[in-house]
Amino acid sequence: MSRMRARTLCAVAAMLVAASCSSGGPDASAPPPTADRSSETTLVSGEPEFSGDSSTTTVVEATPAADPTEVPTVAPIEWERCGGIDCATVTVPRDHADPDGETIELAVSRIESRSDDPIGSLFINFGGPGAETGEILADNPRFWADFFGEWFHVVGWDPRGTGESARLFCDNAGLFEGDFSIADPSDGFETEVADVERFFSIVEGCGLDTGPIIDDLSTADAARDLDLLRQAVGDDTLSYLGFSYGTQIGWVYATLFPENTRALVLDGAVPPGSFDAEGIQRWFAAADRALGHFDEVCDREPTCLARDEGFIERVDRVAALLEASSIALDDGTEFGVGDYLNGVFNSLYLDPFSIGADLDRWMVEIEAGDPSGMIEYLESGLDTATPGAFEAVACADGSDLGSTADYEAYLEGLLEASPRFGRTPLALLCDRWPGEPDPLPAIDTAGSAPILVIGNTFDPATPYEDAVSLTEQLDDAVLLTYAGAGHTVVGFDPCVDGVVLDYLIDLVVIDDNLECRASSGQVGVLVDTADDGSVVVLEVSAGSAAEAAGFAVGDTVTAIDGVPVTSIFEVGPFVRGEPVTFDIARDGSLIQIPVTPTGQPWT
């Protein structure tokens, strides 16, 4: 039996091993956006095309919102420089129902606005539960400064129980040591139940070691913390961007504090019931849909190694090979079919043009006995999510995966929803969680500002139908559909980014059912922001349209088709075959370079 590599969520889902923690949002380690966009998008109106069935989404009956408690006051934040960003701690009640009782410290991070008169602070949560926002912001402050810094201070916090905020004591508990079975109903799930019982006994133990905070780890607790942080930065109302699980914090906040909202963007929707059995089954079915999209892209890409065999067929054939014989590793463990399916699943968090060729190559290497490439990818997200936090918050919020009988029924439904990915189930056994549950409040956002929900048609973890469902349940919300791949999209697509910026900056609310449609197109330049704020060319790809047109490293992009360029986010999108003209500053001269974008390669 193999040791299945760490499997929890980073943005509801970003299995902790995804390359980004919500990735969601933009990959914390991603390079600056480039003119080599994996997709060009066009904003259109009308009902989006979608092959999924939104009618299968269940609107779960939740508990009514608790009566408001006395709201404690909080002192203004005193920022200090740390690691290239600002950081601080804010003292909040451990139990918000007892504001004069015990307290905890929340770790808060800020990328200061470059404006002398910013709109205020934009709070960001990258999902999870368990994503460590402070570390993610510190890993790539320039990206967030370029994106929002002209208008906002970008502020993140480690939600209670994660990162440096009353962190769970699960780091050294051995949560991911030992063997995890692949779901197989032939033995009545006896082995699988034994695995989850063993796993959750460890979660139970490290939860008890953590102390009283385990009674106060719900999403409602996090939303109440967020309102205190809003006060601490001096904002009258909240501007917020939540990715994946961060969308749940957003709608809970709007339910508890509707009058305190200014603008909320919820990317990768997590509606009520997402951590219940049916909700998780929808995730895995969405992963199969996303894999089908990879298969379609491979079919039309001449350089896809699996093109003749079929991408899905190769995924399944390599899984069968590993099920028959795992690969022995130098550390004494094995790389088995569970590790492999996790790697495939996590790859779906990115666009096929970003990672498809890597996954394509990893399958060839694994078949030859070398899984090192996929293992490196699987381990790349381990340092930005707190062990145990996903399980703790899901149980604190009242997941219906309680008893072993619940778990067996869940496994059966999961294998029915996704025979492929359902074999590597998420492990929840909330009857064993020692903390006190605080079920989610019933959605009631009457009186809140309009809310922008974003759904991705090929999102493998937060299904598009969940974005439709959440939009319908919110009192005043509109849905922006992104017809493309990957888990969440803000920061990756110019069309979506334009809608988001218009909304956050000027409170422009789009008509419902608008769609950003993706198509391939690239120029072949990598751009970044210079110290003086200008947009400069860092790299010109060999053999690209840009190289043929005469672009050079160090060129400053001043305009495209006569439209001034003041940010890297204004470089693109590009449509394959449609010429564009760059205005370039070079060596004290202004020149124009026409270029015709080519198709996005599978490389």
pLDDT at 208: 94
What share of the chain has pLDDT > 90, as a percent? 68
Q: How confident is the model at residue 533 (pLDDT cuts 50, 70, 90)?
A: confident
Q: How far is CA 90 from each of CA 161, 271, 299, rounded to the nearest angstrom?
A: 14, 29, 52
- DSSP string over 369-436: T--HHHHHHHTTTGGGB-TTHHHHHHHHTT-S--SHHHHHHHHHHHHHH-TTGGGS-----GGG--SP
Backbone angles phi, psi at 384, to 5 degrees: -125, 20
The two beta strands, 556-560 and 563-564, are antiparallel
Two tokens, residue 13:
């889902």
Helical (H) or strand (E) element with 473? helix 464-473
Q: Quote the CA–CA distance of 209 and 219 in Å, as a whole number.
A: 21
Mean model confidence pLDDT for the chain: 86
Mean local confidence (pLDDT), 166-174: 88
pLDDT value at 599 more than 80: no
Q: Indicate the DSSP class of residue 462.
A: S
Predicted structure pTM score = 0.84
pLDDT at 44: 47
pLDDT in tens, 436-454: 999 999 999 999 999 999 9
Q: Quote the CA–CA distance of 486 and 297 in Å, as a whole number.
A: 13
pLDDT at 104: 97
Q: Quote the CA–CA distance of 452 and 251 in Å, as a whole number.
A: 11
Q: How confident is the model at residue 514 (pLDDT cuts 50, 70, 90)?
A: confident
pLDDT at 521: 72
Q: Indicate the DSSP class of residue 130.
A: T
Query: What sign does the CA torsion over 34, 38, 41, 47 have?
Result: negative
The answer to which of 37-41, 423-427, 515-519 has the lowest mean pLDDT is 37-41
pLDDT in tens, 372-428: 999 999 887 656 789 999 999 999 999 999 899 999 999 999 999 999 999 988 889
The two beta strands, 563-564 and 589-595, are unpaired
Report yes or no: 457 and 464 within 8 Å, Cβ to Cβ.
Answer: yes
Two tokens, residue 175:
């949560």
Instruction: Delineate the domains of the chain, giving CATH numbers in brackets.
Output: 525-595 (2.30.42.10)
CA 170 to chain centre: 23
Q: What angle do CA 355, 16, 306 make, to 5 degrees?
A: 25
Residue 532: CB atoms within 10 Å: 7
pLDDT in tens, 254-286: 999 999 999 999 999 999 999 999 999 999 999
Q: How confident is the model at residue 546 (pLDDT cuts 50, 70, 90)?
A: very high
